Structure 1
């Protein structure tokens, strides 16, 4: 054996590879120790490969010069996967090399399964990252035929074509984020990022780094490469400042400066970064009341409130409940693999008569609950609805034993109590919903004994 053969054997054995080399006649010239152990053959050199390796085709490859990759072969009760490569020197066939890629087909299947799962996991995280910067809803996703709702949608479609800041207000669960996504997708920025920021969820001490990014070494624990902020990520696209009414005053000052100058500077940096971002803000609070309470900056309000879109509550668009309920039913049935043919007329009447303090989000919750209670029924029935919804429709005001004034007072009392509960005792909001002054509300509360 010459030095080259010794070196090759050392390499093969060091990596515990199962490798065999044959000459042009199929005679074994070299075999790694790992292959010898696998075959249980001590001295294979000098023998024809067919005498050493069952079901081999290596001698054929040495004659034809055709490479074989991923071939399944039975060897010693193992289904192995091998590769066979011809040796060509100076244009002439000099033999072939065989290598076991997998000693057992099951090992290959296990590895293949692991790779497939890793690919799926990688794709999942890619999709999650992409979804954070994309808007999936369009104006076609907005369902409703009521006049109030259509007026808002039509106005939003016109506003989408421009670049002015937009303020979306409305009660919790009315679909403010959905409308913001539709505006983005209906704009010239549709192919650029859509970034949502929950202003109430960012701690004050992290606000600057989250919104404007930071440079390497800006603070303890900062990434070596630094990090882009939300505005930088959204550059060229749209940023949704959700829950803007819950942003602390200290943060509002910093945000106002960015909106005015349209430029940012990373924490720990000294380079000014110009940004081209459309700002959409959303809140379920009255910013004007917060201004009066000195909890929101008036100059920031005017910077955000260039175009104001107020989404109506679900009780203001009761004619849309049937359409929304059925659409939600189809979506949820597909999600959970449940078959249902619709909502019964009786159940629909209960839904239409309910006040819906949680709006569309609450309606979705009720529909999801109902389809999970379906047994043999194909329709959502009143018995599948929560008690509070069924009881609301069942309320009757009996005036047989009382005069009209008492009945009216009782009804008025129920309405005021209901709205106070919904506004969490906020007298200003309650008065606005009722269409009366705050002083008028206090008089009614006193007269009806609701103090």
Structure 2
């Protein structure tokens, strides 16, 4: 046999690829399948010829090939669940000479059935152990969220995440400010989870949700027989439950003045006295407080104690509203779609551009909580594999600008001015001089307004 006869022919190459141990799929720039090798076809129980031209999501469950052609970013060694098995998938974009994405090819690592079954069982076992560990950790400490649960790549969010990492290990009090629905609790959980107290309890108390006459017993507990209806054996308060760990006091601005005095005493002395107890009990608790109330104004009106404010305000955190970080909306929308689909079994793979445009323009007075509720409703109302404009609530498409009539003229104008500054700064990558030119004001005026509206 000559050298020429031994060269690899196209026919030989086709045979090798078609029967390769690795499963192979190739899609075009739209995500439509243009090739599926025989091994992959056999596993999926489809005809490799009839699937040509179909969108990859119609053939392969949990695929991300269509995302790769959209982003142009490769995804290597990704765990993918297909037909009851965990597979290890690689997805690589294909570029033309002009660096444009013209398609993508994907491979699934697979050797033989017995070896894969063994590996698949091992993966499932490991995932089960991880889930059990996380559930056990949550039950023991009360921590549900970590820094990874805070979604966003905006400068505001990245700065706050770095601040969490920086101060978590310290033991000082933290006051988290922000509108309702911005995710203040997620930051509180994250601070505890990264602190030296992470193995100890994280106890939460919503001060606005507990009736005034019950708040003292919730915070400090009571002894048996302390009052009519007291439980046999008494009850531990939140301070004692959080001993050694963190106490998260949500909506602290709703606490009455008498309770503020008792809370301040507990923080200053490091001890609590349960109702009906004869002597105080020492506690070691880090306090993280949160509120959406204007505490400074409340202090002027004598509705919030100055000394308590300075006790809890050692490290202040301001969580931005969603309208202050609109660049995070696409990422949040994708996150909520995946989260809701995983829980409900629905198959929504993406959001249409016009729907995303409306979601990005709306003011979101209820912030992230409102966005998640809207996406949940839209997922259930969607009929295809995309979240469309028709699935969104009417009020989003009818009124996504400044809510005229709900505020005074002065507040409405200030809101419009603030949003104009925020949007302009985002468009010029935070170049203050360029932003001032575009807005038609001096640089010093811009800095005054940035300070006034607490931007950046």
Pairwise TM-score range, normalised by the shorter structure: 0.5 to 0.7
- Report whether the alignment pairs 1:138 with 2:146: yes
Please state whether the residue corresponding to 1:151 is helix, strand or coil: helix
1:77-156 alignment, distance < 5 Å = 131=139, 133-156=141-164
Match for 1:378 among 371, 385, 398? 385
Match for 1:172 among 174, 180, 186? 180
Please state whether the residue corresponding to 2:235 is helix, strand or coil: coil
Q: Do the aligned partners of 1:353 and 1:392 also contact (CA within 8 Å) in 2? A: no
- Report whether the alignment pairs 1:341 with 2:349: yes
User: What is the alpha-carbon distance in structure 1 between the residues aligned to residue 391 and residue 348 of structure 2?
Assistant: 13
Q: Give the CA deviation at 1:362.
A: 0.6
Q: Give the CA deviation at 1:344.
A: 1.2
- Cα separation, partners in 2 of 1:387 and 1:429, compared to 1, 3 Å: closer
What TM-score, normalized to structure 1? 0.60
Tell me the equivalent position of 2:252.
244
Deviations 1:302-344 (A, max 9, x none): 1010000100111111110000000011001111111111111
Match for 1:270 among 267, 270, 278? 278
Match for 2:312 among 304, 309, 314? 304
Q: Give the CA deviation at 1:435.
A: 5.8
Q: Give the CA deviation at 1:391.
A: 2.4
Tell me the equivalent position of 1:389.
396
- Cα separation, partners in 2 of 1:354 and 1:277, compared to 1, 3 Å: same
Runs of 4+ in structure 1 off by over 4 angstroms are 127-133, 424-436
Q: Do the aligned partners of 2:137 and 2:143 also contact (CA within 8 Å) in 1? A: no
Tell me the equivalent position of 1:221.
229
Please state whether the residue corresponding to 2:325 is helix, strand or coil: helix
Tell me the equivalent position of 1:327.
335
- Cα separation, partners in 2 of 1:426 and 1:221, compared to 1, 3 Å: farther
Deviations 1:353-411 (A, max 9, x none): 11111110010011001010022x10001111111212246xxxxxxxxxxxxxxxxxx
User: What is the alpha-carbon distance in structure 2 between the residues aligned to residue 367 and residue 336 of structure 1?
Assistant: 13
User: What is the alpha-carbon distance in structure 1 between the residues aligned to residue 418 and residue 278 of structure 2?
Assistant: 53
- Return 5+ residue gaps in structure 2 as ranges: 1-134, 420-456
What TM-score, normalized to structure 2? 0.59
Q: Give the CA deviation at 1:430.
A: 8.1
Q: Give the CA deviation at 1:271.
A: 2.5
RMSD: 2.4
- Report whether the alignment pairs 1:314 with 2:322: yes
Deviations 1:88-133 (A, max 9, x none): xxxxxxxxxxxxxxxxxxxxxxxxxxxxxxxxxxxxxxx8996595
